[in-house]
Chain A
Amino acid sequence: MIVPNQPEAYSFRYLPRSRSKAIGLFFPGANVAFRRSALDPIRFFDTDLASGEDTDAGIRLVERGQFFSNPNAEVVHTAHLSLRKLMQQWFRIALYTVRVVRKHADGGLEVFLCFGRHLSGEARFRNLHYRPLPKPYTAIVFLSPFLLLNLCLWAVILSGGAPAAWAAAAGAAALYFNGDRKIRGVPWRRRFLFAGVRLVINTILLYVSLLEGLRRGMLYVNYELD
């Protein structure tokens, strides 16, 4: 379930329909339009979800017609958000993404490889493996450079700082930070700051979603959502 919250993800086109329930492009609620005849206005948005209700609505609506993304329809987000509020927001996103996935998951083991990005900025996914499981058992794993980095860092910790683990972590870090397109054009001094923030966000997302998923009986390993 990916909400494209980065501008590069948009281009003028119909959104592709994904086969997987775990992956899809939907519009953020700040700038979206629905055809009224296609939806049930009374309880269209799920009131159990405090966040991610737009994604949830999109998943249900995708059966009924096409989604069109038009980047020319742009709004400027001008609100002043403190870093603390932003952290809360990321935390919420991580939490509710899992709930939305849980709500729609059919049951099954899905493994995705998401190394690299499309030119438009979307993460590039490849479905490595799919195996249907009985309904309540769901496992969705995104293998990404970030996950690799995390595993390497764990290896460093567990091995007590073995040089090989450090080397592997350095390699994974290079892979992870190299993939960040948004950093291009940013002054060098700031790049480190951004990279650090990105690392923090992704770590929050990874572990919060992992824990929340486990709490709800699902294995969910997030990819980096930056």
Chain B
Amino acid sequence: MLLRNVRLQLAASPASRIFRGYYEAALAALALWCRRHPSIESLLLSGSGASGRLRYGMSDLDIWVVQRDDETSPVRKERFLTDLRNLHHLFPIVAVGPHDVVFTREEFDEMVLRRSPHYFSIPGYTKVLFNRDPSRSYTIPYALEHERSFLSYLWRKIDVLLENGTDVKYGCYLRRCIADYVDDAYRRLGLEGAATQALTNGALIRNLIELHRVVLDRIAGGERGEVPLPAPGSTCVIPNVLLWETLPLAEVFSTSVMPQRLVVRMARDGSLAEQIDEYIGAYGRADAADLFGCGGLLLPLPRADRSSLDPLDPDANPVTFASLRAGCEPLDLLPAAERCLTTNALTPTVRSMNEYLLRSLCRDPNPLFAIRPENVPLAELALGLWCAGPEDASARERALGVLARSSDCSVSERLFLLKNLVQGRSLDPAPVRATVAIVTRNRADLLVRAISSLQSQTFEPAEIVVVDNGSTDHTAETVREWASRWPKVRYVYERQPGIPHARNRALVESSDRSDVVAFLDDDCVAGARWLEELVLPFRYDPEVVSAGGYVRFAQEDKTVWGDFYCSRDRTSEVLR
């Protein structure tokens, strides 16, 4: 058999030293090993990331190197175990390195690995490398040596498996079942029509597309290039593939040392938009989505097909799908989408991701509700590509436009762009002029700080109204002096004491000059992006009537509250 896509996943954070050791070693070992397998086209190395989640690979061979030496959190441990329990039977090999600290060997073996047919570990290996003794610091070459021997052992094992004819092609029982099903369908219905049909109907996830390719190869009995895949836009359309899991692209390396294409990429903090642009530039727009899909999961179907599509007929293979279904809660979605979800829900992880995405897109009238800032990169691409369904070229253009544009936007602005994109609203921000109103009383010194923090805003205020609520100190002189230097500052005196009076006065004074009035307290200092972020909702959503930010307490007030809220002075950090 041919191995095309190989994926090596290390269950460690790429930031960790251990991972570095693995990474170096893995590259070296893989370089050696891949020379013996010229069929390998792509190799994906990835780490589990800080979340500790193991990730899917949609590849011919998945190798997991598991060690949990640095794992201390019980939550992550539990999550990891659940993942592993759910996934280990889906993948051909779980190679276990050391895991002696959190999991005992017995516990781990008993819970997870005994059930895997292709589990092996190297005794003694653990102790050498991952001893937690702080006095024994290991250097990279030292680790490399061991890693190399470990990995070459691993490769040898794989070779043996391959030679013995163990079916690792589809990696798991499920994949095998799907492949059999597709195979069967082809045989029953005749070659070309069935292939086309199956591609159209069944290619829900990247995995399946790959499977179809394999099956087509097998049927054609030759090279992959001989059986052309249906072109997008023709009568049979391969539904767009969305990715979810690949999105931490930063953790994905492909390097040119390797046989075909492999570019070492460690841009862990690089912005997503840059990477997207890079990919799009390198491969052409049509291929970009496809490219992102490799190694990714997901997603259902273009919108138009949702009701009519019959993904993989579950009744044709009841054993496989019944067991899958048993573990899946019914989802309150469109029936076809539900079936599709259920069929694709290999694990709770995937299911929850699918569910999350679909719910936020289909049911939730306001997708932003569901999307939190830490999910932005994921949601961004998912939403963008969702909109760029193959059936609607203009939507696709718009989505790609948003993705391209998002490189010079802040995260919040990108979210609003995407929200408007999904909701079909205007992508151009409305022009908004903002007045900043500061209400003050006897705090001239603090007021100076507040006003000066407005000087360096990324969004320029139309005017600054300082309402003096009956001060008796030198507030008036201070503000007038500011006003002479900076014409936007205006001084207003409100005789009647009381914050409501002063605020009303500020609203009256700002009339007709601005669309938005932003209030800032005199004892607060605004961050450089304060006004921009505060005005953002008004620019992108005409329904927003009020927006607020958050008030951080600096430590310099030596009160209990100040200490309570933050343990260090973050004023300078915010003002940066």
Contact = CB atoms under 8 A, between A and B. Distances in A.
A49 B446 CA distance: 25
Contact of A36 (B443, B514, B541): B514
B507 A76 contact: no
B550 A33 contact: no
Contacts of A58: 546
A50 to B, nearest CB: 6
A35 B520 contact: no
A202 to B, nearest CB: 14
Contacts of B188: none
Contact of B548 (A31, A76, A185, A194): A31
Contacts of A194: 560, 563-564
B372 interface: yes
A75 B548 contact: no
B434 A33 contact: yes
B330 interface: no
Nearest to B530: A73
A31 B520 contact: yes
B545 interface: yes
A45 interface: yes
B441 to A, nearest CB: 12
A61 interface: yes
Contact of B516 (A13, A36, A43): A36
A47 B534 contact: no
B75 interface: no
A36 B547 CA distance: 12
A26 B570 CA distance: 25
Given A66-B543, A77-B523, A41 B551 contact: no
A39 B510 CA distance: 13
A71 interface: yes
B191 interface: no
Contact of B546 (A34, A41, A51, A78): A34
Interface in B364-394: 366, 368-369, 372-373
Interface residues of A, number: 64
A46 B499 CA distance: 10
- Report, as a range, how many residues of chain B touch the other chain: 35 or more
Interface in B506-559: 507-508, 510-511, 514-521, 523-527, 529-538, 541, 543-554, 556-559
A7 B525 CA distance: 16
A11 interface: yes
A55 B264 CA distance: 54
A14 B368 contact: yes
A13 B510 CA distance: 27
A68 B541 contact: yes
A79 B541 CA distance: 34
A30 interface: yes
Contact of A69 (B545, B548, B559): B548
Nearest to A12: B373
A193 B560 contact: yes
A44 B434 CA distance: 18
B169 to A, nearest CB: 42
A26 B69 CA distance: 45
Contacts of B496: 47
A68 B550 CA distance: 12
**Residue in A12, A65, A82 whose Cβ sees the most chain B Cβ within 10 Å:** A12
B541 A76 contact: no
Interface string B445-462: 010010000000000000
B515 A37 contact: yes
Given A43-B504, A78-B523, A14 B369 contact: yes
B507 A75 contact: no
A83 B179 CA distance: 71
A28 B545 contact: no
B561 interface: yes
A176 interface: no
Contact of A182 (B372, B550, B551, B564): B564
B570 A35 contact: no
A67 B544 contact: yes
A75 B508 contact: no
A78 B550 contact: no
Interface string A60-92: 010011111111111111111111001000000
Contacts of A81: 557, 559, 561
B516 A47 contact: no
B498 interface: yes
A11 B534 contact: no
B504 A45 contact: yes
A13 B369 contact: yes
B500 A73 contact: no
A44 B373 CA distance: 33
B504 A5 contact: no
Contact of B545 (A34, A47, A76): A34
Contacts of A38: 545-546
A110 interface: no
A158 interface: no
Contacts of B545: 34-35, 38-39, 61, 64-67
A76 B518 contact: no
A74 B527 contact: yes
A33 B514 CA distance: 12
Contact of A65 (B511, B530, B544, B564): B544
Contacts of B541: 66, 68
Contacts of A51: 499
Nearest to A80: B557
Given A39-B507, A68-B537, A74 B550 contact: yes
A39 B517 CA distance: 11
Nearest to B524: A75
A82 B563 CA distance: 13
A36 B564 contact: no
B546 A29 contact: no
A74 B524 CA distance: 10
B503 interface: yes
A31 B546 contact: no
15 contacts: A12-B368, A13-B369, A29-B499, A30-B524, A30-B551, A35-B544, A39-B545, A45-B500, A58-B546, A61-B546, A65-B544, A66-B543, A70-B549, A73-B534, A76-B551
Given A13-B372, A68-B548, A77-B524, 20 more contacts: A7-B551, A10-B549, A12-B373, A28-B551, A33-B517, A33-B548, A34-B516, A36-B507, A39-B507, A42-B504, A44-B507, A45-B501, A46-B500, A69-B549, A77-B553, A78-B554, A78-B556, A78-B557, A79-B443, A194-B564
Interface of A: 5-7, 10-14, 26-39, 41-51, 53, 58, 61, 64-83, 86, 182, 185-186, 190, 193-194, 197
Interface of B: 366, 368-369, 372-373, 410-412, 415, 434, 443, 446, 449, 496, 498-501, 503-504, 507-508, 510-511, 514-521, 523-527, 529-538, 541, 543-554, 556-561, 563-565, 567, 570-571, 574-575
Chain A to chain B: the 10 pairs with minimum beta-carbon distance, closest first: A27-B548, A73-B549, A79-B523, A65-B545, A73-B533, A68-B537, A30-B521, A45-B500, A33-B518, A41-B507
